A and B are shown apart, each in its own frame.
Chain A
Amino acid sequence: MHWINWLIVVVYLAYVIIDGIRKSRDTDTIHGYFLASKSLPWWVVGLSVMATQLSAVTMIGTPGQGATDGIRFIQLYFGLPLAMVILGVTLVPFLHGSGVYTAYEYLERRFDARTRSLTAFLFLLSRGMSVGAIMAAPGVVLSAIFGIPLVWSVALIGVPTVIYTMVGGVQAVAWADVKQMVLIIVALLAIVVVLIIQMPVQPDDALRIAGATGRLKAFDFSFDLTETYTFWSGIIGGTFLMLSYFGTDQSQVQRYLAAESVDAARSSLLMSAYCKIPLQGLVLLVGVLVFVYYQFTPPPLLFNPTHESAVVAERGDVYDALRQDYTSTFKLREQAARAAVDATDENGAARAMETFLAREADIQAIRGRALTLAEEVTGEASRDTNYIIPRFVLSELPIGLTGLFIAGVLAAAMSSIAAELTSLSTTSVIDFYRRWVKDDADDAHYLRISRGATAFWGVFACVVAIYAATLGSLIEVVNRFGSFFYGSILGVFLLAMMPRAQGTGSFFGLLVGMGVVAAVAFGAPDVSYLWHNVIGAVTVVIVGLVLGGRGRGQEAQADRAPRLIVRL
């Protein structure tokens, strides 16, 4: 990469650390450290929520998905606006007004300590592993693209993030998120503008080519439980997923708990409701445009440079033959694409498009053979979707913009990781250390423990990321296990809104909900994970209400605690 691009990346990293330390001045209490003393304006929280949700995978993997699979992924977000509105009138006012540090802390006030501790433990288990995976994903890609050891790429992302998160707490993280979000949007818009300028055909023709290959199909109305991205899974499953994520996941809840008022907290979530679908559309559009761009500019046969080098070294003869085939077929496809664009009558355009689609199928078949070859040589699954955008950025973008995009990827990674670290640290200290170990210490003590917890989780995340390849199956198991209880935890919070529900029912409802989702996941593995959230939440609510009986102690406790009453 050109030194100017590296300079942009280094300046960005230095700025993030310096700014984070600068923002740490007001964090001399745990209220300041974990909740920014409830001082953040709505737009800071709103951008922070969006930045947290937008990880490096979104910057690298989602455009790659747009390039290979089109924009149908956007259906996942169809339920988000409704979920934000529901949360704005239910959970947000209660959690913000109840003075809690974590969502799970509220569950003890409403139900009992075991429900709180179980949900908090499940959060630590899943997020502890996933933060490593969030760091590993861009780490592996940057390592392969720049040819540097994985340890270095993980350190590039992890060290600055841990420093500013540990020193500055939520205040530093939220303000860093604002700048990171701006950087991400600028980088995405810049790449779209460059793509449109460099595209050898008009935007309308580019979209016609993309549309002919099915990449502009945004809606799939089939009611198929095994299909992940359909209109119905997005509207129903997506709503439950977003309710779970934004309403019960501490990494999100902590953002709006730090808002200066309930209205600010609500407004911050509505920013996502308004902007998420257009933003996700922009990310996918980048991928679609890159796909069209590579109709007229020869793309690499394998986008993962490490795999390409390995294949060339071990099966060079076979790979050369494939590459020759690929080059000649590419020329035929390019001719067909140009003929489709240049056709003056409708019949001619249709015929040319048919030829183009046949050549496109040939290209995909050759790519499939190359990917299989890479898999045989490296012994690794060779889906190179995540490498399409980095390769494009490095080889096709002008100097400066490449650095901007790489800084954007780092920003996306760091904002997500920082949110995870603060939430893991908060849950560890508030829901376990202060609850079960030492509940009478002074603020300075808790602040020291909190910084230590943040550092611990940061180091833990880096270690998991470095050993991600070795821990691959373990991470997968934990992630899969995580999907078992995401909807179930939502079910517990839904029960909290219902006057009849009590601690025993909620606790056992949570266990039964997780069991039912596990049974569905293993018994009917084809059912999309989006439906697991619906199944888990509904099961917990039913079991919780059926078991609704309560002991006297719980009764007294439940009557004192505020309830989350739905007023819809």
Chain B
Amino acid sequence: MTNEDVPSSAAPRSTFKTTLIRVLVVQVVALTVLALIQLRYHG
């Protein structure tokens, strides 16, 4: 796919990947905390 209006170099893609990984890590940590709470306390 192409687009002339937005920079299409490899840099944005690598920034996106880094960001995606960071957000997913935070997401996994948040979900893990919730899972641990559920495992420990949910009757």
Which of A84, A94, A353 has a CB less than 8 Å from the CB of B5?
Answer: A94
Which of B6, B8, B19, B37 is in CB contact (< 8 Å) with A216?
A: B37
- A contact residues around B16 at 8 Å (CB): 85, 88-89, 567
Given contacts A219-B38, A353-B43, contact A81 B23 (CB under 8 A): yes
Q: Do the beta carbons of A81 and B6 come within 8 Å of each other?
A: no
Say yes or no: A84-B38 contact (C-beta < 8 A), given A97-B6, A353-B43: no
Chain B, range 1-43, C-beta contacts under 8 Å to A: 1-6, 8, 12-13, 16, 19-20, 23-24, 26-27, 30-31, 34-35, 37-38, 40-43
Cβ contact of A88, chosen from B19, B26, B34, B38, cutoff 8 A: B19
Known: A85-B23, A216-B37, A567-B1. Contact between A278 and B43, CB under 8 A? no
The docked-state distance in angstroms from the alpha carbon of A84 to that of B16 is: 11
Q: Which residues of B contact A98 (CB under 8 A)?
A: 5
Q: Are B12 and A216 in contact (CB under 8 A)?
A: no
Whether B37 contacts A218 by the Cβ 8 Å rule is yes
- Across the A-B interface, how many residue pairs have beta carbons closer than 8 Å? 88
Q: Which of A59-67, A204-212, A403-411 contacts B (4 or more CB under 8 A)?
A: A204-212
**A461 to B33 Cα, complex, angstroms:** 40
Known: A218-B38, A277-B30. A567 touches B8 (CB 8 A): yes
Residue among B3, B8, B16, B38 having the largest count of chain A Cβ atoms under 10 Å: B3
CA distance A207 to B27 in the complex (A): 23
Chain A residues contacting B31 (CB-CB under 8 Å) are: 78
Q: State whether the Cβ of A562 lies closer than 8 Å to any Cβ in chain B.
A: yes
Report Cα–Cα, A74/B38, bound state, in Å.
13
Q: Are B5 and A85 in contact (CB under 8 A)?
A: no
B35 near A212: Cβ-Cβ < 8 Å: no
A141 interface contact, C-beta 8 A: no
Interface string of A95-116 (1 = CB under 8 A from B): 0011000000000000000000
* Chain A contacts for B3, CB-based, 8 A: 562-563, 565, 567
Q: Chain B: interface secondary structure?
A: helix
Q: Is the CB of A74 within 8 A of B34?
A: yes
**CB-contact partner of B26 in A81, A217, A281, A353, under 8 A:** A81
Contact with B along A232-265 (1 / 0, CB 8 A): 0000000000000000000000000000000000
Within A245-298, the residues touching B (CB, 8 Å) are 266, 270, 273-274, 277-278, 281
Q: A212-B43, A565-B1 are in contact. Are A207 and B6 (CB under 8 A)?
A: no
> Given A563-B3, A565-B2, A566-B1 in contact, is the A81-B27 Cβ separation under 8 Å?
yes
B18 CB, nearest partner CB in chain A, Å: 11
In the bound complex, how far is the Cα of B20 from the Cα of A97, in angstroms?
22
Alpha-carbon distance between A277 and B34 when the two chains are bound, in angstroms: 10
Could you tell me the distance between the alpha carbons of A218 and B23 in the complex, rounded to whole angstroms? 20
Write the nearest CB–CB distance from A216 to chain B, whole angstroms: 5
Q: Which residue of A lies closest to B27 (CB)?
A: A81
The answer to the question of A213 belonging to the interface, with a C-beta cut-off of 8 Å to chain B, is yes
User: CB distance B2 to A81 under 8 Å?
Assistant: no
Which residue of B is nearest A74, CB measured?
Answer: B34
**What are the residues of chain A within 8 A of B24 when measuring CB–CB?**
81-82
A270 with B35, Cβ < 8 A, contacts A214-B43, A216-B41 known: no
> Could you tell me if A211 and B43 are in contact, using CB atoms closer than 8 angstroms?
yes
Tell me the minimal C-beta distance from A472 to chain B in angstroms: 35
Q: Which residues of A sit under 8 angstroms from B38, Cβ to Cβ?
A: 211, 216-219
The residue on A at minimum CB distance from B30 is A277
A548 within 8 A of B: no
Query: When the two chains form the complex, which single residue of A214, A273, A281, A566 contacts B42, counting CB atoms closer than 8 Å?
Result: A214
B23 touches A216 (CB 8 A): no
CB distance B19 to A85 under 8 Å?
yes
**Which chain B residue has the least Cβ–Cβ distance from A206?**
B41
Q: A88-B19, A218-B34 are in contact. Are A562 and B43 (CB under 8 A)?
A: no
Chain A nearest CB, measured from B13 CB (Å): 7
Shortest distance between the CB of B14 and any CB in chain A (Å)? 12
Distance between Cα atoms of A278 and B30 in the complex (Å):
7
A562 to B4, CA, bound (A): 8
Which residues of chain A come closer than 8 Å to B4, judged between CB atoms? 562
CA distance A562 to B17 in the complex (A): 24
Q: Which residues of the other chain, A, contact B42 by a CB distance below 8 angstroms?
A: 211, 214, 216-217
Q: Judge whether A93 is part of the interface by a CB distance below 8 angstroms.
A: yes
B19: chain A residues within 8 A (beta carbon): 85, 88, 266, 270
A-B contact pairs, 8 of them (CB 8 A): A78-B31, A218-B34, A219-B35, A273-B23, A274-B26, A357-B43, A563-B3, A565-B2
Pairs A-B, 7 closest by C-beta atoms: A211-B41, A218-B34, A562-B5, A212-B43, A565-B3, A277-B30, A565-B1
Interface residues, chain B, with chain A CB atoms under 8 Å away: 1-6, 8, 12-13, 16, 19-20, 23-24, 26-27, 30-31, 34-35, 37-38, 40-43
Given A278-B30, A281-B30, 8 more A-B residue pairs with CB atoms under 8 Å apart are A78-B31, A81-B23, A89-B16, A211-B37, A211-B40, A212-B41, A214-B43, A218-B38
